[in-house]
Chains A and B, each alone.
Chain A
């Protein structure tokens, strides 16, 4: 495992099939420590499946994942201490209030209650969720749910953050707030891996990107390496192989 000791997240030969349909077909990836890493891909490319296997939520058919040298599937207890996750399309324990949810996550991570209280209060303040004190998370708006999810992932001070679609369905104000927090986190020595299909966000934030399509990594490297002097969107569309409308079809739309 030379080289993987230094990577914040290392994936080797990850494969997953669902009912005989290949979702992820052998993903190798090294996320350098201290990087802001964007995992790009069209819908259905296998981003969520890959990240789920990387953090121990979904058992891979083959391959493995290492966080700062700790085997996620061989030694989950050690590895899971080091990262925080915000999964997408996964419910939170949403019949708790925001404060209750944070307290739950903190204690679940084995943190000291006084530290949990202090950090949870601070996070609620910073993320502008303190006003929603009495509201159950199930009644939160989509943006608030993303924010409380991020707070849960940050609470125990992980060295690696894995975020699945953190900017999906988030309004510009909340998105700016989340960006600020993530910037500060990377500046303080943390590593962020996040998936997205929004080019602007990735270009603005990331130091490194990987493009995932049809279950394999098509391009990977620093942002500059991958896009060269073109726009990231051009590269992405070229790699993924999309098609553009000719204007012939859907004629009935312009009636």
Chain B
């Protein structure tokens, strides 16, 4: 919905469109600048807030969080300068800046989504050149809390460079920090846009899944290197790595000024050039996928042919994965949800995330703290750390349902009109999601047990995984009813509305904390009970998770029965 007709009409400074009749226009066309897009975005954001008190409140809370992060970041980046430690300056600039760029690139894919207040498809009919569109969208993307927070945090480096190398170094760092921000935004836009295009095409979705896995895997090795280096406190080695990172696009922008401060004058322009070239390449990449996003949305995508068409309508509705379900109301809900988890790009992206994160987080946490660090005893993996990481994975899987009705959007009206009882609805949704997630969780337990070479722990791992998943389901059915919000009707699975991004983050956080809270008995039992828990954990965890999920859907069903119309209004995109 993002861009509505009314706000556009009232925005005033709109790109001029030629007169409808006469082809050779006698009126001069005013050029369309990036400012138009920025003003349009601000206007749309303001209109989205109108009369929505809770949205403003969420936005303010999000802004305060961002401010807190920004200020802490600022002092971390400024610390080497204030302490007059030139050696730390390179570390902070290279690693801090590099992590920032990496985070901007990957986190929108995995966690936050990308603010699509200005949907590119809305501009498809306007006579705009690709260059105008990309610069405009880019400028608009720079407007927002995350960009401001990142700029504020990294400007701590300017202080550092100034104190270490005088005003010239400070000035170059200021340029570098701004360039770094441009790089961050360009990277996040280019990567999400490219992925959105890929996931839209059903043929390439498997490739996209693998690519996403590889991208996420990049976090792993980096983390090991950093952890290893920190553990050994081998500053020379760390500084060596920092130097290398400083010459990659990740750190170049942020280390340019520090180089100048340390006397390597020639390095600064080269590094800035690297950054500028990278930004250019990313924008070019973005413009390619932007065009296909516009055209794809306008033509309604490719007509997808389904292969199977045999059998009666009812037989067609039920996919093989849900073939065993009864042919009744509950069964129909399960079957439709099961189909949707696969056919809807937005939902599929969530499943892929669970699979990737579910394997990597436990492996990283436990291997990263085990052998590779150098065999230090106080960091070895234990059933407790494994349980904790498994609880995280289980909760993460269940949080996917935190806005389960938002996935449906206004289509949920069909269920309201049919008067589906709340408990049936919620139970069916949980079952359909579990059809995919439970095998995934079993696989994750096995893989992690194999990788950690601790087959005896598999009971503890699977037990805590399912306990956390079930408890998370119980919490998230409530969140999904009471905290539902509309997702924009675009084909970009990573898109969220402005404001809704903050809402999504906060809701996710609240429901994760609550779910972890509900699962703490499992963690406590692992830490306190000894060997016997290895055998008890699986049955107890299964019963715990199943019981929690049943109780949650039972109680939340009554809430849903009373709030169906309100829920429908909440998930219907405003038009």
Contact = CB atoms under 8 A, between A and B. Distances in A.
Interface in B385-444: 408-411, 413-420
A90 B420 CA distance: 18
A59 B565 contact: yes
Contact of A89 (B301, B316, B336, B575): B575
Contacts of B340: 93, 95
A58 B565 contact: yes
Contact of A120 (B313, B408, B417, B420): B313
A93 B411 contact: yes
A107 B411 contact: no
B50 interface: yes
Contact of A100 (B316, B408, B572): B316
Contacts of B456: none
B224 to A, nearest CB: 40
Contact of A56 (B408, B489, B565): B565
B interface: dominant SS: helix
A76 interface: yes
B29 interface: no
Given A89-B575, A93-B336, A100 B414 contact: no
B300 A87 contact: no
Interface string A141-162: 0000000000010000000000
A24 interface: no
Which of A81, A96, A252 has its CB near the most chain B CB atoms (within 10 A)?
Answer: A96
A80 B414 contact: no
Nearest to A77: B419
B520 to A, nearest CB: 38
A19 B304 CA distance: 41
Contact of B339 (A80, A96, A107): A96
B411 A92 contact: yes
B286 to A, nearest CB: 26
**Interface size class, chain A:** 35 or more
Contacts of A76: 419
A91 B327 contact: no
Most chain A beta-carbon neighbours within 10 Å: one of B19, B21, B50, B565: B565
B303 A139 contact: yes
Contact of A105 (B50, B307, B414): B414
B297 interface: no
Contact of B317 (A59, A85, A87, A104): A104
A102 B307 CA distance: 19
Nearest to A156: B418
A173 interface: no
Interface stretch (A29-37, A110-118, A207-215, A230-238): A110-118
B413 A90 contact: yes
Contacts of A99: 309, 313, 316-317
Contact of B410 (A91, A96, A108): A91
B569 interface: yes
Contacts of A103: 312-314, 316-317, 332
Interface stretch (A129-137, A188-196, A216-224): A129-137
Residue of A20, A94, A106 contacting most chain B CB atoms (<10 Å): A106
Nearest to A136: B304
Contacts of A4: none
A113 B19 contact: no
Interface residues of B, number: 52
Given A95-B339, A99-B313, A108 B420 contact: yes
A108 B317 contact: no
A27 interface: no
Contacts of A97: 306, 309, 316
B418 A108 contact: yes
Interface centre among B304, B312, B333, B417, by most chain A C-beta atoms within 10 angstroms, is B417
Contacts of A133: 309
Contact of B335 (A92, A104, A116, A152): A104
Contacts of A245: none
Contacts, number: 141
Contacts of B329: 107-110
Contact of A92 (B339, B414, B416): B414
Contact of B411 (A81, A94, A121, A254): A94
Contacts of A100: 313, 316-317, 336, 339
Interface in A170-197: none
A234 B120 CA distance: 43
A133 B309 CA distance: 7
B234 interface: no
B178 to A, nearest CB: 39
Nearest to A60: B565
B243 interface: no
B566 interface: yes
B291 interface: no
B409 A91 contact: yes
A59 B189 CA distance: 40
B51 interface: yes
A247 B178 CA distance: 55
Interface in B304-344: 304-307, 309, 312-317, 327-329, 331-333, 335-336, 339-340, 343-344
B312 A121 contact: yes
A255 interface: yes
A169 interface: no
A57 interface: yes
A95 B343 contact: yes
A67 interface: no
Interface in A53-87: 55-59, 76-77, 80-81, 85, 87
Interface string B559-572: 00000111011001
Contact of A55 (B305, B327, B336, B417): B417
A65 to B, nearest CB: 12
A253 interface: yes
A109 B413 CA distance: 14
B312 A117 contact: yes
A57 B417 contact: yes
B317 A96 contact: yes
Contacts of A59: 565-566
A132 to B, nearest CB: 10
B309 A109 contact: no
A80 B418 contact: yes
Given A57-B568, A255-B21, A108 B415 contact: yes
Contacts of A135: 303-306
8 contacts: A57-B417, A81-B419, A87-B413, A93-B411, A113-B328, A117-B312, A139-B304, A253-B20
5 shortest interchain CB distances as A-B pairs: A107-B332, A19-B51, A99-B313, A80-B419, A117-B312
Given A97-B309, A108-B329, 17 more contacts: A56-B417, A76-B419, A80-B417, A87-B413, A93-B336, A93-B408, A95-B343, A100-B313, A100-B336, A103-B314, A106-B313, A113-B328, A120-B314, A133-B309, A139-B301, A139-B303, A152-B414
Interface of B: 19-22, 50-51, 300-301, 303-307, 309, 312-317, 327-329, 331-333, 335-336, 339-340, 343-344, 408-411, 413-420, 489, 564-566, 568-569, 572, 575
Interface of A: 19-20, 55-59, 76-77, 80-81, 85, 87, 89-97, 99-100, 102-110, 113, 116-117, 120-121, 124, 133-136, 138-139, 152, 252-255
